[in-house]
Amino acid sequence: MGLLLAMSEKGSMKYLKLLFFVCFVTLVYATNARAQTPIVIKFSHVVAADTPKGKGAIRFKELAEKATKGRVRVDIYPNSELYRDKEELEALQLGAVQMLAPSLAKFGPLGVKEFEVFDLPYIFPSKYVLNKVTQGPIGKDLLKKLEPKGITGLAFWDNGFKVMSANKRLHHPADFKGLKMRIQSSKVLDAQMRALGAIPQPLGFSEVYQALQTGFADGTENPPSNFKTQKMDEVQSNLTISNHGYLGYAVIVNKKFWDGLPADIRTELAAAMQDATTYANEIAERENERDLAAIKKNGKTTIYQLTAREQLEWRQALLPVQQEMAGRIGKDLIAAINKQGTLDEK
């Protein structure tokens, strides 16, 4: 009996040791596997890769993967490949995608109407004032307004001032009368086009080329980089360098995802985003100048520079939009930005 007991005890000891060994190996393997499986950031956007935003996203990918030593992988989906305008914000809030950089004109439908301040005609007298706003307390406060929507705002990226295009010359505000003008989904841009006597047509960015090609829209507005990379010069005979309004982006991330990251990784990603932002904002002006020159060289679109007198006419037609939209955006916010401009004039 004692022998039997001894044998069974010895057997169970062996079994316990084997069980311990299997558990240990499984744990080590699982830990290693977890260590090797990178955290994936899906970064979706709607413009071509060869644009300031497209290049900024690529730079962030390079910096983020290097800084985290491969613990993070950034998969970029440009040109509305993964999500188009109308879908991307909801996809981010649902966590189906982790990072976006929508145009500031696209946050109104999310309920953050203050972002449409960037759409106001002539709200920024210079890039310098614009940078003071986006890189200073006003910009920080605006990004904070995204948090209740489950979104963390990381940065502002620039794409410069917009030009206007159509299949007719656009020298005077009266030239817009009755034109169907594509806009982003912003009430300010709606008011802007109506102030010119045009008919605003909100459309997703991926639909613009076809709308212009089929005549569903007569014209549109965008910085030269988008105009060129979306081949709009193939379907628009006239472009006016109006610089009447601004187009920029907020780089945003799903808040739950961001807050759930290991603290060291979040710090490394924030630093990578800061450097990518510096890069994206540095190249924006140069890229738009390059693309405007390319449009000119292509010769399919007549490029017109407004005279000083014509610029005054456009201002007189469009400046009332600031007053008209103050109720929606906030008088104080508009005043704060206008004050920034006068401060810098002194």
The residue (of 185 and 254) whose beta carbon lies closer to ligand LMR is: 185
- Contacts for 199 with CB less than 8 Å, ≥ 6 apart: 178, 179, 180, 181, 193
The residue (of 209 and 304) whose beta carbon lies closer to ligand LMR is: 209
The residue (of 46 and 196) whose beta carbon lies closer to ligand LMR is: 46
CB of 219 to ligand LMR, least distance (A): 13
CB of 309 to ligand LMR, least distance (A): 29
CA distance 193 to 180: 9
CB count, 10 Å around CB of 96?
A: 15
**139 φ, ψ (degrees, to nearest 5):** -65, -40
CB of 30 to ligand LMR, least distance (A): 41
The residue (of 139 and 248) whose beta carbon lies closer to ligand LMR is: 248
CB of 273 to ligand LMR, least distance (A): 18
CB of 41 to ligand LMR, least distance (A): 19
Query: Residue of minimal CB distance from ligand LMR?
Result: 103
- Contacts for 171 with CB less than 8 Å, ≥ 6 apart: 240, 304, 306, 310
Collapse the DSSP code of 247 into the 3-class scheme (helix H, G, I; strand E, B; otherwise coil) and give the result: strand
CA distance 179 to 197: 8
CA distance 57 to 66: 14
Contact residues for ligand LMR (CB under 6 A)?
Answer: 46-47, 103, 159, 184, 205, 222, 226
The residue (of 289 and 344) whose beta carbon lies closer to ligand LMR is: 289
**Sole residue written with tokens 């004692």:** 2
